[in-house]
Structure 1
């Protein structure tokens, strides 16, 4: 017996509902799959494209060399120029003997500080003393000759006056006798006698005048001789004064070349204290209150120094002291052997701590209206083309630019011409960076 029953309408409805529900779930799944697939395609494809482009760029970049680049910087408007110098005395001289004789005594030795006019040594010079006495006697004789000549001149003048008086009387007598002759009171012979007397007195006047002229000339000659004797006496007196050797100015004795008893010849000293061999000086004296510092300024910097410019001066032995010097003069010519300009600075040394011959360091403060550029010395290329730097052009290729180098600071150098300041320079160019090579610049971090 069959136990199955035919399906009821309710069961068929449930079956149809289940089928529709299954179909709906599948559709929604398919739609979701399509939607998410579209999103994946939209996001992945551009990334894949970018990745391929990046890989191509990396591949291309791997074939272009990379270089570190720098930009030149402007140097400071004020810079220091430090140069070696030598301390020299402003006034230094050697002292010579002007009187011949034996050195009686010396009063100053090396290292002694002396004043102007201070007695340094005495020379025993009997010959000079005798010459002074002789010149004095000659002067006295010349002065006596002047007195004698003047006395003779006075007598001659008196005789001339007497002769002129006699001439006047003789002339008047002759003129009277001429009148008497015309009147017939006296004979002509008496008148002729008066005329002869007149002529004799006229000759006496002329002779007396000549005597006066001669005596006047003798007086002038005696005066000239006295002047010569006076000059000779003064000359020998001055030479006698040179027996005492004095300091020409205040300073310090730096050398003594004589000793007691040494024979001194005028115009020379003694080179050996134990012999009489002549030399050129007795003493050497140097003034210490004001000193000069000689500096050899390089030709490249000679144009920026001016007279009156100040500088700081230091010496190694006095590390805590800074002296101020002033440029007072230059040689105004470049030494062709060293290509430097000799410059002298004046420095006050009232306390005497500085000594001539010291090595000094002179620092000038230089103001520059157009300061140069500064680059590392590693950026320079020196070859047959001159001094150059490797620049990077706008199309990232290498171009070598000629430059002029100024001061060298060791790790950096100044560039005085050839750069504008906007260039990109290869920090350390090598032989591989040839002209026109395409490179990849990388800014160097400080």
Structure 2
């Protein structure tokens, strides 16, 4: 008898628990109604009080990308000065930090090879002058009927040969930035600066013998403008354009920012880093930025209209992102969207939403189970 009573008590408990469970499920189902693709949330439901909506708006956005960079001298404003011939340094005309202009003397060198080049030039010049006079004489003789055609042709050939030799001798000097018209046979070679700038490295030693392949003994650089070499990942390169702005920050000057512009975007991707080199030209009138210095570069893209939505409004289904769009008061549909970056708790929408549409900005998770 006692066993029968215990069994009845257990059955009664299970029955009451089942009724309570069914009642809870019924209440949950009443929170929203699913009709096709539309989810209807009654105004009196508990979920309705947890849902917040927001109107989608376009906004002006400037994308920012930060990378490391290195300061470099601009190649056309940087010159390494080395001796064009082997010889001994006789004199220095500059000191470290001195300003120079194109043609300013840097150092003087005595060189046998330079003397031979001078001699070749003067010999070729004299022979060319003699050939020119001989040709003129033969032309005059032939004009007045006392010349010989064969001798005139020989004079023309000789003239062209000597002219070519004179041109080559002149070019051999000009290639080293030497004006043949100003040289005097036997004088030492004065090496000059090819550009305007400042002596940033001076290793000139008077009396030192230098070989023809000796390394540079002076460097001239104009650093009022410099290049910043940065790297951008290939996935972000579409956001960078020439003349876009860039902000330069240096650890040595934490409270100072330098502004530059994108000068060039490399055409080749570095396969090891999957990045593209970007060159920024930056003003450097105070010479604060030094070649070789590490900097931080912040690229700012061209302003563009885009859509941002709260991060809470975007949900995931498998590998797809979606939001709930309000079609009418209390009625919502699921809309798949293409997303991009996250910025300050908001996600950029590339496609799937239009301005002035209304979405669930908070509480969308409560509708996640709706199928």
Distance (whole Å) between structure 2 residues aligned to residue 287 and residue 137 of structure 1: 39
| Deviation by residue 1:193-222 (Cα, 9 ceiling, x = unmatched) | xxxxxxxxxxxxxxxxxx622332343244
Over aligned residues, Cα RMSD in angstroms? 4.6
Q: Structure 2: any 5+ residue segments left out of the alignment?
A: 1-21, 32-45, 179-188
1:397 and 1:436 in contact (8 A); partners too = no
Equivalent residue for 2:160, pick from 224, 227, 232: 224
Equivalent residue for 1:264, pick from 211, 214, 218: 211
Mapping 1:295-306, distance limit 5 Å = 295-297=230-232, 302-306=237-241
2:243 and 2:262 in contact (8 A); partners too = yes
Report the CA distance shift for 1:436/1:399 in structure 2 as closer, same or farther (over 3 A): farther
- Structure having the larger proportion of residues in helix: 1
Mapping 1:325-336, distance limit 5 Å = 325-331=260-266
Equivalent residue for 1:246, pick from 192, 208, 214: 192
Report the CA distance shift for 1:150/1:425 in structure 2 as closer, same or farther (over 3 A): closer
Equivalent residue for 1:129, pick from 110, 115, 121: 115
2:313 and 2:359 in contact (8 A); partners too = no
Q: Which residue of the partner structure matches residue 13 of structure 1?
A: none
2:359 aligned with 1:414: no
1:143 and 1:222 in contact (8 A); partners too = no
Report the CA distance shift for 1:127/1:79 in structure 2 as closer, same or farther (over 3 A): closer
Q: Which residue of the partner structure matches residue 359 of structure 2?
A: 423
Distance (whole Å) between structure 2 residues aligned to residue 105 and residue 80 of structure 1: 56
Report the CA distance shift for 1:314/1:155 in structure 2 as closer, same or farther (over 3 A): closer
1:380 and 1:387 in contact (8 A); partners too = no
1:392 and 1:425 in contact (8 A); partners too = no
Q: Which residue of the partner structure matches residue 386 of structure 1?
A: 319
Report the CA distance shift for 1:340/1:118 in structure 2 as closer, same or farther (over 3 A): same
2:151 aligned with 1:215: yes
Q: Which residue of the partner structure matches residue 373 of structure 1?
A: 308
Report the CA distance shift for 1:397/1:144 in structure 2 as closer, same or farther (over 3 A): closer
| Deviation by residue 1:257-285 (Cα, 9 ceiling, x = unmatched) | 775524321xx333xxxxxxxxxx44444
TM superposition score normalised by structure 1? 0.54
* Displacement of 1:129: 0.4
Distance (whole Å) between structure 2 residues aligned to residue 62 and residue 149 of structure 1: 114
Q: Specify the SS of the correspondent of 2:310.
A: strand
